[in-house]
Amino acid sequence: MILLSLLLLQTSTREITFSFKPDHTVKSVSLAGSFNGWNKDATPLKPSVDGQAWTVRLSVPYGHQEYKFVIDGTDWIVDPKGKAIDDGNGHQNTLLLVVPPDFDRPASPNDGIVAASAVLHKPTASFLNYDRGALTIRLRTRANDVSGVSLITRTGIQPLELESSDDMYSTYAARVRWDRKTNIQYVFKIVDGAKTEWYGLDGLTKSTPAPFELEAKSFKPFEVAPWVEKGVIYQIFPDRFDNGDLSNDPADVQPWDGKPTYSNRFGGDVAGVRKHIGYLADLGIDAVYFNPVFKSPSNHRYDASDYMKIDPQFGTNAEFGQMTSELKAKGIRSVMDIAFNHTATDFPQFLDIRKNGAASPFTQWYFIKSYPVEVRENPPYVAWFNYPSMPKLNVMNPETHTYLLNVLHHWITDAPGVSGFRFDVANEIDQRFWRDVRKDLKATDPNIWIIGEEWGDASQWLQGDQWDASMNYPFREACLGFFATKGSTASQFTAALMANYHRYAPQVSRNMMNLLGSHDTARFLTLCKGDVASEELAAAVQFTWVGAPSIYYGDEIGMEGGVDPDNRRGMVWSNATPQNPVLQYYKKLIQTRKSSPALQSGDPRVLLSDDAKSTVVYARELDNDLAIVAINRSDSPQTISIHLPEIAPYSTVVRQGFLDALSGRQISVQGHELTLTLAPKSAEILRPMPSHVSSAPRRSGRVALSNLLRTS
């Protein structure tokens, strides 16, 4: 067991003063950001004596943070003194970089000074991870702060390779073959110019430290749902996919091509989905992610009135169960979306509180502030984003806790095709609940996929004890910046992809839901200003990068739509024809991915990032399989040359050449030099012509760890 109490006690926040000077008289100013759950009521600012300035000082975690000021509880604005960035949904946030005090000096790899606050290794999946027969051991330092890092074990001294860097941190990693039968002792050697420091059980030291020790018998690998990385996901907003049964329509059902609002319904239902199961199968879909289907007063159904009952306007429980069985028969799994953070105000337990007040037996199911409980502005109970219609559940109340776990088991049993759950605003729910959910669900079925909603860094939920994956909005942001807004360069794009990949254990990154759009974002094609070529380039990356690609219904036929609710238009089935080139392009991408183990499960390697030519080339490598993806974002043809690594599988592939899976064009390689001429705004996905065999890794001899420490 690794004891890291000293490391875990490191301070990880810094005091920041936020100030705002309004240009008109205001009643209140508050702060909402990534550091307080975007809760507009959590951090009020105090006015100065003269009322000219409003300020607040609070501890903010290190790293990239985003925030806005909220004026009079309704007007959200960026900090006029800060740096504004796009939030990925057509709005602006203020970016704040919070750094430790020892970052106040410039970083240098040769000044003999190591920023101690940045050096970190801990026993979590992000730093110590077993995957596919090897143990990856990582160490974090300040970016550009050290000249070298080595791992010292009984088997030898192994340099750590730089995996990723951003404007705060660098991560170094080494892979060690491990039989999971013997314990491993290790320390890190950190070189900064002429000085050497050590990092071990006692933290950062000037002399030989006590080593970390990993006990084989107590180590539990982080295992995720194995089917996800090989699959293609399709997201359906239930009310907008197709209206197959007019008899269950609401009285005020809108025309299918009507304008979406926050309240209207179009009549999409189970019958509409069943009608198009053949379409989904022909497209190559492996799993359908359904936005909520429970009885609810809203069209999005994130405020459930009854978790155990399908909304009658969507269908019946029996019809939903039959639909998942029919999907399963076609090889398509079902993933249900659930909001356990809050319910509707007509949820039975909340209704009882409204009726009986403090005498209700369900008062502990919610966070009641005062009685009587009335549904009104500034409600007397905790509500999501303070919306009165969404009272927050107390998931750790024993009765509530048991009930919610029973909801999950109910749907696994009642709908045989259900293979996973996506949890809404999961980052706002007590992590103890997620630990219990994982333990309970994985005991029932280890292949159940547990995915939580978190728009940023989801590391704290992805350490092996809570979720399998999260919705990969950082992937979307990287694609948005490179292909849609064109605000980032090729090197910034690949750096963002790699940093996001290395943020998690490899098996987690392979499990992430890689999306270009969702029910919460504007359509990607609309953000590309209708430029289909740019949207298709992003799709090419989506289907070839690490993670499970998720298609938001209609993206595959070129649907457009602005910010919510315009992004929730009715599916345009008249465009879902073989004559639609966008649909055919998506089918080709899906077929290409399914034919390549490397594109499903391979490790990534960036081969080229040319800012001047706006070109990117990366590879996916898996044992003896290989795929190379080349992207030209520019409006002109570009000729590029890449020196392929002189290792397997490249060393055998270069003799036979490649085949572009999109065009069918054959491409030869001269030595290890691959030269490509890419058309404007085009992608090529290169696959090796014949099969090939990779070589086995070399192993070093076993020596005493104490000797290595003395001689290194």
- What are the catalytic residues? 424, 453
- Burial string for 158-184 (b: 16+ CB within 10 Å, else e) reads bebeebbbbebbbbbbbbbebeeeeeb
Residue 154: how many other CB atoms lie within 10 Å:
19
Q: Pairing relation of β-strands 333-338 and 287-290?
A: parallel
Determine the 3-state secondary structure of 643 from DSSP.
strand
CB neighbours of 494 closer than 8 A, spacing ≥ 6? Answer: 606, 609, 616, 618
Is 412 in contact with 444 (CB distance < 8 Å)? yes
CA 561, distance to chain mean position in Å, is 23
Residue 167 in 3-state DSSP?
Answer: coil
DSSP string, 46-98: EE-TTSS-EEEEEEEESEEEEEEEEETTTEEE--TTSEEEE-SSS-EEEEEEE
285: left (phi over 0), alpha (psi -120 to 50) or beta: beta
| Closest among 30, 25, 28 to 41, alpha carbons compared | 30
Sign of CA dihedral 323, 328, 331, 337: positive
Token pair for 614: 């706006």
Angle between helices 398-414 and 431-444 (to 10 degrees): 30
As given in the structure block, the two tokens for residue 557 are: 């036929």
Two structure tokens written together for 703: 């020596």
**Cis before 297 (ω within 30):** no
Q: Decide if 173 contacts 138 (C-beta within 8 A).
A: yes
Within 10 angstroms of residue 685's Cβ, the number of other Cβ atoms is 25
Rounded distance, CA 148 to CA 377, Å?
57
Do the beta carbons of residue 639 and residue 675 sit within 8 Å?
yes
